[in-house]
Amino acid sequence: MTIKTLDELLSDGVDNRYVLVRSDLNVPLDDGRVTDDGRIRASIPTLQLLVERGAKVIVMAHLGRPKGQPDEKYSLRPAVDRLDELAPFAVEFADDVTGPSARERAAGLAAGSVLVLQNIRFDARETSKDDAQRQDLARELASLTGDTGAYVDDAFGAVHRRHASVYDIAEVLPAYEGNLVRSELEVLSRLTTDPAKPYVVVLGGSKVSDKLAVIENLMTRADYLLIGGGMVYTFLAAQGYKVGASLLEEDQIDTVKDYLSRAEAAGCQFVLPTDIVVADRFAPDAKHEVVPASSIENSSFGASGTGLDIGPESAAAFSDRIRSGATVFWNGPMGVFEFDAFANGTKAVAEGLKACSGLTVVGGGDSAAAVRKLGFADSDFGHISTGGGASLEYLEGKELPGIAVLDN
């Protein structure tokens, strides 16, 4: 690939030039307050480099899934306020995407300043399946940058989307790869190209259907696939066990059986929990007990019991296996980590990664939110990805539109 880098843009000179940056400010909110600012922090270095070189920086970003129109619940204002608190530069905010506020503030933007546009998804053209509509929005965005504008993609969490601010804009303005995107790709490539052995992959989350392509692609590369989270109950059902009221994708049982039967020939060992924390209902104060993974319906709650975490025996075994890895990739919590009573499995996995001396990669999304909620520092791990879905699609071997369009 012949992708132009941020360093190349800086060497060409950005003093008093407009640079349109796609950042990832899609952070979780609770009552208008940012609860995990990891992605905001990760966006700052690229913006700071541009500011220090005198660029007029205009940031595009999204938050949540608004339906193509303004919705105060999805305003970027809380994320921008947090960015302003964290960054060593001042941050302005336009309350529309390409409307009067954006045009006025962009026109008056001083060199070495940053302007963040309102949630790009407030404009339905951003995610439109109609190429012409997306291209129309891209041209409007480019018009904010004058005659010498440039575009930098620094939002790895969005590169798997064929959206106007990710894909089409790179066909309108000279396009460059941001340092965050570059570092993400460098780390993830180490997970698919001759990874150091033993290679341990830990997969959790709610649905096995979300991870099928990753399992398929990594089964021939990984030495061990540790399975937890809601998806584990489909694996247990595939082994003939009853799982009570636990999350189950019955239509995926045959696929999982196929994976289990093929694993040995692929040189990969699936490691499933031997015990499960079963609760009487989905609630933070639910009654719960630990039972063998093969006997979920033998708990006090019978067939109405629901598995909400891997058990302590499994958590210890998973942690031990992770510690011995030379390469470890983790995506998806082991249980309902948002509830303290069912966070122990996820915490044990995080502790295993922290103690591992090999390359450890946390695959973004819920995994990143979990380690921060549980009190771990980003520095406890080799790399925390900012892109949950993008990371998975890369590991599935899919082409990422936002990266492909940067290839000149």
Residues involved in catalysis? 39, 207, 365, 389
Query: Which DSSP state fits 196?
Result: -
**How deeply is 254 buried, as exposed, middle or buried, from its count of CB atoms within 10 A (0-12, 13-18, 19+)?**
exposed
Which residues fall within 8 angstroms of residue 9, CB to CB, at 6 or more apart?
19, 150, 152, 174, 176
Residue closest to 181 by CA, chosen among 151, 165, 158: 158
HSE (CB half, 13 Å, CA atoms) of 390?
25
Distance of CA 156 to CAs 177, 186, 201, 404, Å?
A: 10, 12, 21, 13
| Residues in binding site for ATP | 211, 307, 338, 364-367
Residue closest to 25 by CA, chosen among 4, 9, 47: 47
Distance of CA 318 to CAs 65, 190, 359, 376, Å?
A: 35, 22, 17, 18
Helix (H, G, I), strand (E, B) or coil at 79: helix
**Could you tell me the end-to-end alpha-carbon distance of the chain, in angstroms, rounded to an integer?**
8
Helices (H), 53-200: 77-86, 100-107, 131-143, 179-192
Residue 113 sits at φ, ψ, to 5 deg, of: -120, 160
Q: How many CB atoms lie within 10 A of CB 2?
A: 6
- Yes or no: say if 6 and 177 are a contact pair by the CB < 8 Å rule: yes
Got the DSSP string for 148-159?
S-EEEE--GGGT
Cis peptide before 198 (omega within 30 of 0): yes
Beta pairing, strands 275-279 & 288-292: antiparallel
| Residues in binding site for substrate | 24-26, 39, 62-65, 121, 161
In 210-352, beta strands by DSSP E: 224-227, 269-271, 275-279, 288-292, 306-310, 327-331
Query: Which DSSP state fits 242?
Result: -
